[in-house]
Structure 1
C-alpha cells in the first residue's frame, strides 16, 4: 500500500498539468492485486482525492472468454448513467460518448481496469484527459507501454501468519489456535508459499475445521504430491469480491496461455534441483543455448511465473531464477500426468545432472590443483571455482539426492565425490553429510562397493568435522574394510588416515598413532608424497595428543618439507601451524611463534579464515606460555573475527571467552 497510494495523490491546485498517469499492479495469480487496488481506491476516496468516485471493470483477462474493450465500455457508460435509449447504437459513438463524459467530468475519477491480460482490453478505455487516474491489474507486465509498474511479491512470513490469524479471529474471536500452534502456523504459511490466495484458502479450511488443529492441515498438505489439490478440494468459500477461493484454476489459466516454448521451459524448471537455478543450468536443462534460454526466462518473468534473483553486478547469465513453490508443485503435477512429458523431464534431469557433474569436477580439480599438474578447464583460479560452487550449491546438493533414483545414481555418486573438498572448505557440514549419505546409500543399492567405500569416506569426514566423532570412527572403519576387500591399497591408506583423525577426536590417541603410521607406510610404498605428507602431519597431531611432543615436531617438519616439495602451499601453511603447536608443546616457544607467523601468511594468502583463526589461537597460547597476556588477548580477538568470517560461531565465541580471561 505504501508504494501505490502516494502515487494516486493528485497534484496541488495550480500545479502544471501532468500527462495521463497509468499505474499497473502486476504479479502472479493469487498475489493480491485486486485487493490492493480496491483498498488503495477506498483510502484515496476517503482522503477526498477522487470526488468523482471509482469506476471498476473486471476484464476477466484469464478466463476462457475475456471481456473485450467493446464490452467493457458498455459497463462503464452504464456506471456513468448512460443506458437505455440514451446509449449510442454504434461502438464508435459509444467510445466517443465515454471519452466526452470523462473530459467534461470535473470531479477527479479513478478508473480501475482489473485483471487485464492484453493491452487491447484497456487501451481503448483510457481517458483522453490527464485529469483522471487509471489503475490496471494484470498477471503480465505491460513492458511495451509507458506504465508505472508496481510488482507485487509474496508476503513476508510475519505478514502471512497475521493474515491467517486475522481471518480466524474475524470468524471467531475465541479461536486461539494461532497462538497455541505458532510453529504449525508458520509451517502452514510456508507450505502456502506466502501467497495471499493460498493463505485465504487455508484460513477458510481452518474456519470450517473449527475443532481440528492447524497441525492436521499441515500434515494433510505435506502428504499430498500437489498442495494445490488439497487446498482447492477443501475450499468452498469466496473472497471479498465474490470470487471462488480456488488456486489451481488460476495456475492452469496462466499455464495454458503460454506459447509452447515458454510452457516447456516452465515444466522443466519445475523439475530442476534446488529452489533457484542459474541460467547456465537452465540452458542445460532445456537443451538450449544461453541466449534462447535467457529470452524464454525473461518472457516467463513478465508473466510472473518465474522470478529473477539478481546475483550482484555480474552479467545476465549470473542471474538466478526461482519458481514459487506452488507453481513448482503445479508444474510437477502437469508432467506427472503425461507419459511424453515424463520422458521429456527425465531427459532434462539427466542433462542438468551431467552439467553439474562436469563443472563440479572442473571446480574440484581447480581447488585441488598443484603446480605441475594439468590445468582444469574453465576455472582459472580458486576464487573463480569457489564463486561458481557457491552460486550453484543448493542445486548441486539437491541433484546429488537424485541418487535415490536408479537412472541417475552413478552420475549423482560421482557428483557427490566432486563436492567433498568444497563443502569441507566452506564448512557446510550439514550439506556434506546429506551428500555423503545419499551417495553411500545409492552405491550400496547398486552393489558398487568402491563407490560405497568412497561414500563412507566422505560421510565420515563430514561427521567428524561436524563433531560427531564416534559415528565418524564407524564410517571410516567401514570404508577401510571395503577398500581392503577391493585390494585398493592407495585408498586404504586414505581410510587409515581418516580413521586416525576420528580416533584422535574421541581421545584414542595411541590408536590414532597406529592408524596414521599405517597410512604413512602405504603412501610411502605407493610413492605418493602428497598423501605421505598428509599422513605425517596427522601422525604429528596424534603424537602431540599422546604427550610425545618432540616426535610430533619431527613428524610436522617432515610433513612441511613434503608439502613444499610437491608445491602444495595451502597444506604447507597448515603444517607450519601444526609445527608451531608441537614446538610450543616441546617448550620451544620462540620457534613456535615464528612457525605460526609463517602459517598466518599462507592462510591469509588463501583467504582460509578458519586456518587463520586456528593459527591465531595457537599463537595466543604461545604468548600465554611466555607470560604475555596482552599479546595473547589481541590474538584471541583476532581469532574470533577470523572464525566469524569462516562461519564457525562456536569457535568465535570460545575465542572471545579466552580473550576475556586474559584481562
Structure 2
C-alpha cells in the first residue's frame, strides 16, 4: 500500500500520473490493494467525491465490454431507467460530461481488465479525477504509473495465515506450535495471497478436529499439485464476494495465451529449476535465443514469468523465473495429455544435452591454465567457466535428478560425472553427495556397471572430504569390485588409489600404503602416467603418515616429476604442497618454504583459493615455528583472504584468529 497510496494524494505537480495500474499474476491481491487504498484515500479526504468501481471480469468466460461498463458507471452516478441515453455514443458523452462537471475529486476503479479496449473508452476527459486499473497484464502502451505486485515474502506469508487464524479464534496457537510446518505451508502456497487465504480458511474450518498445520502440508504434498489440493478445501468466497479458487485463476491466464506462448509456458514449467536462462529456454523450445525473447517478454508482461537480471553476468540475457504455482499448473497440463508429455520429454532431452555439453566444456576449462578456450569456444577464461557453473548449479543438480526417469538416465548420469570436479573445487559436498548418489542408483538400474562404479568413487571422495571415512572406504570398495568385474582396469587403479586415501583418513595406515602400491602397479600396467603420478603422491602421503619420511620424500618427488612431465599443473601444485609437508616433518624448513611457494604460485594461477588458503596456512605455521612472527601473521591474513574467496568462512575465521594471536 505504501507504493500506491502516495500516488493517490492530491498534488500540484502537473507531471503526477492521472492513470495508475496495479498489475500482477492472478491471486496476488490486486483488487484488495486497490479497494483498501481507495478506502484509505477517501478517509484522508483526498476523494470527497468517493470512488466508482466496476469489475470488468477480464478473465471470465464472458468479460464485460466498455459499453456494458459505462452503463454500470452511469447507474452508479444516478443515471438509469428513462434517464439513460438511448445510444452508446450518447452514454459515453453523458458519462464524460458528468465527470467533467463533478467538482468533488473522484477515483474511478476499473478492476480486472484484460484488454485495453475494456477501459480506454471509459477514461474521463479531465485531469481532475484519478483512474486506477487492475490487470494481470502490464499496460505498456499507455502513459501510466504501474505498481507491479509480487508474491509476499516468507515472513509476510506466515503473518497472513497467523492473523487469519487468530481472527477466527484467538486461542488458535497452531502457528506458534508448528512454526516449521507454517513456513512449509506458505512455501507450498508460493507465498501467493489467494493461495494463503484458501489455506488459512481450510485450517479455520478444521480447528475443531484438532488437526495441525502439518496435516494440511501432508495433504498438499501427497496431491502433488498444490492448486488441486488447495481448491479441494476452498471455503467459497472472500470479503468481496469473489470465489476463493486457485486453479481457475491460472487456467484463465493460460487459455488466453496464443498457442506459441502457451507452448513456451508449458515447456518452461518442465525446466529443472525455477529460474532458467534464455539459452536453456531456447533449448526447451527447440529454437534460437532471439526467437524466444519476444514470447518471453509477453509472458513477463502478463506476469506469468519474471525476468531476472544477473549482476554477475554483465550484458547477458536475463534469466526467467516461474512462480511455483504457475510451474505446478503447467506441469499438470503436460501430465494430462499424451501428446504434450511426448513434447515435454523431447524438450527435457534437449536442455539436458545442453547442460551436458556446457558442463563438460566448463570442467575441461577448469583443468587448464590461462590462455585459449574450451573446445566448444564458450569459456575464454577459467573464471567464466566457474561463473557459469555457479549460476547454473541449482539447475544442473536438479537436472541430475531426472536420472530417476527414462529416457533421461544416461545423460543425467553423464552430467553428474562432469560436475564432480566443480563441486569438489567449490566444496559443495552436499550437492556432490546428492548427484553422486542419484547417478549411482540410476546407473545400477540401467545396468551400466562402469558408470555405477565411477559414481561410487565420486561418492566416496565426497564422503572422505566431509569426514565420513568409514563410509568412504565402503564406497570405494564397492567401486573397486564393480571395476574388477567390468574390466575397467584404469578405473580399478583409480579406485585402489581412492580407497587408499579413505583408509588413510580412517588411520588404517598399512592398508592405505598397500592400496596405493596396488594402484601404482595397475597404472604402470596400463601406461597411465597421470594415474601413476596420482598413485606416487598418495603413496608418499601414506608413507609419511606411517613414519617413513625418507621413503615419503622419494615418492612425493616422483609424483611431482611425473606431473611436470605430463603437464598437469594442478597435480603439480598438490605434489609441491605434499612434498613441502613431508619436508617440514623432516625439519627441512627452507626446502619446505620453497616448495610451498611453488605450490601457492600454481594454486593462485588457477584461482583455486581453497588450495591457496591451505598452502598459506602451512607457510604461516612454518614461519611461526622458526620465530618469524611478522611473516607468519602476514601469511595467516593472506590465508584468510583466500578462504573468503573460496567461500570457506570457518577456515577464514580460524586464519584471522591465528593472525590476531600473533599481533
The interval holding the TM-score normalised by the smaller chain is over 0.9
Q: Tell me how far apart the structure 1 counterparts of residues 551 and 129 of structure 2 sit (CA, whole Å).
A: 88
Q: Is the CA contact (8 Å cut-off) linking 2:369 and 2:606 kept in structure 1?
A: no
Deviation per CA, 1:603-662, whole angstroms, max 9, x where unpaired? 222221101110111112212321334433443343233223212233334434544554
Q: Is the CA contact (8 Å cut-off) linking 2:483 and 2:491 kept in structure 1?
A: yes
Q: Is the CA contact (8 Å cut-off) linking 1:583 and 1:592 kept in structure 2?
A: yes
SS in 1 for 2:112: strand
Q: Tell me how far apart the structure 2 counterparts of residues 533 and 373 of structure 1 sit (CA, whole Å).
A: 26
Aligned residue runs from structure 1 range 411-450, under 5 A: 411-450=411-450
Counterpart position of 2:194: 197
SS in 2 for 1:318: coil
Determine if the alignment matches structure 1 residue 238 to structure 2 residue 240.
Answer: no
Change (3 A) 1:580 1:321: same
Q: Is the CA contact (8 Å cut-off) linking 2:17 and 2:145 kept in structure 1?
A: no
Matched pairs, number? 660
Determine if the alignment matches structure 1 residue 31 to structure 2 residue 28.
Answer: yes
Counterpart position of 1:312: 311
Q: Tell me how far apart the structure 2 counterparts of residues 94 and 205 of structure 1 sit (CA, whole Å).
A: 45
Q: Select which of 57, 64, 68 maps to 2:54.
A: 57
Q: Which runs of 5+ in 1 are unaligned?
A: none
Determine if the alignment matches structure 1 residue 118 to structure 2 residue 115.
Answer: yes
TM-score, scaled relative to structure 2: 0.96
Determine if the alignment matches structure 1 residue 176 to structure 2 residue 173.
Answer: yes
Determine if the alignment matches structure 1 residue 138 to structure 2 residue 135.
Answer: yes
Counterpart position of 1:154: 151
Counterpart position of 1:627: 627
Aligned residue runs from structure 1 range 229-628, under 5 A: 229-312=228-311, 314=313, 318-369=317-368, 376-378=375-377, 379-628=379-628
Q: Which runs of 5+ in 2 are unaligned?
A: none
Deviation per CA, 1:532-576, whole angstroms, max 9, x where unpaired? 222222222222222223332222222222222222223222222
Q: Select which of 68, 80, 84 maps to 1:87.
A: 84
Counterpart position of 2:204: 207
TM-score, scaled relative to structure 1: 0.96
Q: Tell me how far apart the structure 1 counterparts of residues 24 and 423 of structure 2 sit (CA, whole Å).
A: 37
Q: Is the CA contact (8 Å cut-off) linking 1:367 and 1:385 kept in structure 2?
A: yes
Q: Is the CA contact (8 Å cut-off) linking 1:583 and 1:589 kept in structure 2?
A: yes
Q: Tell me how far apart the structure 1 counterparts of residues 536 and 371 of structure 2 sit (CA, whole Å).
A: 23
Q: Tell me how far apart the structure 2 counterparts of residues 617 and 658 of structure 1 sit (CA, whole Å).
A: 9
Deviation per CA, 1:77-110, whole angstroms, max 9, x where unpaired? 1222222222211111111111111112121111
Q: Is the CA contact (8 Å cut-off) linking 2:399 and 2:412 kept in structure 1?
A: yes
Q: Tell me how far apart the structure 2 counterparts of residues 316 and 116 of structure 1 sit (CA, whole Å).
A: 35
Change (3 A) 1:367 1:588: same
Q: Tell me which stretches of 4 or more aligned residues in structure 1 moved more than 6 Å.
A: 370-374
Determine if the alignment matches structure 1 residue 45 to structure 2 residue 42.
Answer: yes
Q: How big is the shift at 1:319?
A: 1.5
Counterpart position of 2:222: 223
Q: Is the CA contact (8 Å cut-off) linking 2:640 and 2:651 kept in structure 1?
A: yes
Q: How big is the shift at 1:223?
A: 0.8
Q: Tell me how far apart the structure 2 counterparts of residues 257 and 275 of structure 1 sit (CA, whole Å).
A: 23
Q: Tell me how far apart the structure 2 counterparts of residues 104 and 373 of structure 1 sit (CA, whole Å).
A: 74
SS in 2 for 1:236: coil
Q: How big is the shift at 1:291?
A: 1.3
Change (3 A) 1:348 1:153: same
SS in 1 for 2:497: helix
Q: Tell me how far apart the structure 1 counterparts of residues 73 and 370 of structure 2 sit (CA, whole Å).
A: 77
Instruction: Identify the range of structure 1 (398-407 vs 530-539) with the bigger mean alpha-carbon deviation.
Output: 530-539
Change (3 A) 1:313 1:101: farther
Change (3 A) 1:384 1:259: same
